[in-house]
């Protein structure tokens, strides 16, 4: 394992705190982020235009969320990032592609959750940036195709649906895939005047909350037909993470006080039963949802977003401490491993899928208190990414963050275009296109509130 100084060299690792050139240095960094976005977009335009994802080592492509058909995922995920960076001709080019080519009438099966956070969210944020009604119509068309998935006895959606036929599959679901809809779908209801999108997604969220244990904890697997739990593990990592995020967000975006109460109850229980301090570091352990017994010391990289959420919900001390725990791992490994065990101090999954979560937490903390430390964590995240993930045709995920040099894979996920590039830019640029006081970003980094169109 290499230290941060070893990875970046003294110059790159030096904190950007000096007052004299501080402002200028952050602006320069913002220009660097914007330049990387434009560079990667132009390569995508040249080698993968209209495809879902570019494989940036081989300059080939992969499809997602459909197995054998492309919907333009990267393009849709990138749009509002291009706009907020002022890459206007590229934004228009992308919007033109969507208007002329995006067609969701495909006989194939998609994940309801992934399609919603990435495609519906991407179309809505591009609509927020431009006001173009066609983008809203496309988002609505897609939501109408996903809507039948919610037709279950519990109101929890099936995990998969065929976009053309409406055939559903897999009722064995989880909190994230039940409750990560309301901000996008409530926005859709507000914009279209049709309450169904808001109502079905809110119902699923509330019904899941009602299934909590006596300790106010939720487990990670549940049957959408019977409403029976299929697992006992409570976690804030994958398959649960964004459920808690969207309880808070629904309060933030819509002023939904019941969602805030549900968030507060869940969070109090998580902090009471899952909070573990080890060697001065805070971690959130997986526990049995009925007894509170700690199950293991395994930490999922996806849970590194959670410090930002804790802080947003008022637990600033814990949010900052948790983010520092993950930042400590970033210093140690350069790029976070997908899994880490705080008991052994070893990674349990050595890849990194070009993840945005630590930058996400830093961004949310920085919006709250403007502490330069959070910008610094994001800067280190960005510089490490430039150093380790940049390849000939864009940015790739990593197969092994512990090898020297880090072993690269060959895949740029759609969220890279929507998440970390936007978080870095917003933190470093201080752009007039974004309202830093009143804004809302979804779990996928899509901006549904806070763009200033006139700027
Ligand atoms: O799709 C992304 C989003 O942030 C999410 N979960 C995982 C992805 C990024 O790692 O909610």
Contact (CB, 8 A) for 129 and 117: no
> Which letter does DSSP use for residue 304 in this model?
G
Q: Which atom in ligand 1 lies closest to the alpha carbon of residue 241?
A: 11
- So what's the pLDDT on residue 17? 57
Helix (H/G/I), strand (E/B), else coil: 391: strand
Tell me, in angstroms, the distance from the centre of ligand 1 to residue 434's CA.
22
Q: Whose CA is nearest to atom 4 of ligand 1?
A: 444
Q: Whose CA is nearest to atom 9 of ligand 1?
A: 355
Q: Whose CA is nearest to atom 3 of ligand 1?
A: 444
- So what's the pLDDT on residue 15? 64
Categorise residue 328: left if φ over 0, alpha if ψ from -120 to 50, beta otherwise: alpha
Tens-place pLDDT, residues 241-256:
999 999 999 999 999 9
Tell me, in angstroms, the distance from the centre of ligand 1 to residue 158's CA.
19
> Which letter does DSSP use for residue 335 in this model?
S
pTM: 0.96
- So what's the pLDDT on residue 11? 35
- So what's the pLDDT on residue 4? 35
End-to-end CA gap in the chain: 46
In 3D space, the residue among 374, 386, 384 whose CA is nearest the CA of residue 423 turns out to be 374
Pocket test for ligand 1, best of 76, 443, 445 (most atoms within 8 A of CB): 443
What is the widest separation between alpha-carbon atoms in the chain?
A: 62
Q: Which residues of 112-130 are buried (b: 16+ CB within 10 A; e: fewer)?
A: bbbbbbbbbbbbbbbbbbb
- So what's the pLDDT on residue 19? 53
Helix (H/G/I), strand (E/B), else coil: 57: coil
Q: Whose CA is nearest to atom 11 of ligand 1?
A: 443
Q: Which tokens sit at 50?
A: 């209209």
Q: Which tokens sit at 331?
A: 């210093």
Positions of the chain with pLDDT lower than 50, given as ranges: 1-13, 18, 20
Tell me, in angstroms, the distance from the centre of ligand 1 to residue 397's CA.
14
Distances (CA, A) of 325 to 205, 294, 345: 30, 19, 12
- So what's the pLDDT on residue 454? 86
Which domains does the chain carry?
Answer: 26-449 (1.50.10.10)
In 3D space, the residue among 112, 84, 91, 6 whose CA is nearest the CA of residue 41 turns out to be 91
Phi, psi torsion values for 349, nearest 5 degrees: -150, 115
Tens-place pLDDT, residues 23-67:
889 999 999 999 999 999 999 999 999 999 999 999 999 999 999
Tell me, in angstroms, the distance from the centre of ligand 1 to residue 74's CA.
14
Catalytic residues: 114, 241, 338, 357
Contact (CB, 8 A) for 204 and 193: no
Sheet arrangement for strand 233-234: 233-234, 286-288, 294-296
Q: Which atom in ligand 1 lies closest to the alpha carbon of residue 305?
A: 4
Pocket test for ligand 1, best of 113, 304, 415 (most atoms within 8 A of CB): 415
d(CA 338, CA 296): 16
- Residues enclosing ligand 1, CB less than 6 A? 117, 242, 302, 355-356, 415, 419, 443-444
Q: Whose CA is nearest to atom 10 of ligand 1?
A: 355
**Taking CA 307 as the corner, what is the angle to CA 303 and CA 309, rounded to the nearest 5 degrees?**
95
DSSP symbols for 58-82: TTEEE--SSSS----HHHHHHHHHH
């Amino acid at each position: 394992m290499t230290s941060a100084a070893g990875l970046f060299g003294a110059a790159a690792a030096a904190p950007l705190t000096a007052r004299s050139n501080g402002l200028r240095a952050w602006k320069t960094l913002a220009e660097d982020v914007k330049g990387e976005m434009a560079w990667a977009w132009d390569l995508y335009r040249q080698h993968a235009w209209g495809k879902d994802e570019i494989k940036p080592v081989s300059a080939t492509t992969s499809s997602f969320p459909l197995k054998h058909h492309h919907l333009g995922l990267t393009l849709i995920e990138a749009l509002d990032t291009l706009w907020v960076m002022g890459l206007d001709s590229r934004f228009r080019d992308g919007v033109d592609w969507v208007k002329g080519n995006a067609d969701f009438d495909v006989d194939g099966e998609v994940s309801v959750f992934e399609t919603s956070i990435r495609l519906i969210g991407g179309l809505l944020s591009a609509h927020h940036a431009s006001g173009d009604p066609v983008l809203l119509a496309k988002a609505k068309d897609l939501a109408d195709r996903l809507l039948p998935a919610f037709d279950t006895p519990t109101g929890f959606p099936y995990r998969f649906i065929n976009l053309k036929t409406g055939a559903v599959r897999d009722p064995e679901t989880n909190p994230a895939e039940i409750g990560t809809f309301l901000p996008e779908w409530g926005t859709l209801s507000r914009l279209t005047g049709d309450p169904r999108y808001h109502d079905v997604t809110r119902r699923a969220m509330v019904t899941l909350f009602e299934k909590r244990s006596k300790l106010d904890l939720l487990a990670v697997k549940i049957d959408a037909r019977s409403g029976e739990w299929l697992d006992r593990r409570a976690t804030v990592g994958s398959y649960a993470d964004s459920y808690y995020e969207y309880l808070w967000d629904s309060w933030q975006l819509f002023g939904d006080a019941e969602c805030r109460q549900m968030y507060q109850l869940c969070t109090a229980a998580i902090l009471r039963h899952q909070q573990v301090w080890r060697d001065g570091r805070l971690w959130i352990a997986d526990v049995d949802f009925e007894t509170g017994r700690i199950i293991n010391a395994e930490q999922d990289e996806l849970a590194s977003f959670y410090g930002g959420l804790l802080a947003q919900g008022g637990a600033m001390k814990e949010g900052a401490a948790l983010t520092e725990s993950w930042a400590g791992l970033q210093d140690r490994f350069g790029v976070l491993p997908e899994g880490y065990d705080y008991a052994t101090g070893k990674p349990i999954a050595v890849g990194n899928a070009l993840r945005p979560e630590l930058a996400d937490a830093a961004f949310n903390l920085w919006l709250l208190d403007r502490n330069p430390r959070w910008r610094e964590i994001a800067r280190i995240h960005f510089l490490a990414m430039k150093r380790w993930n940049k390849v000939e045709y864009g940015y790739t995920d990593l197969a092994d963050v512990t090898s020297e040099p880090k072993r690269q894979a060959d895949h740029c996920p759609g969220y890279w275009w929507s998440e970390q590039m936007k978080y870095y830019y917003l933190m470093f640029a201080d752009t007039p296109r974004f309202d830093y006081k009143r804004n809302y970003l979804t779990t996928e980094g899509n901006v549904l509130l806070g763009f200033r169109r006139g700027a």
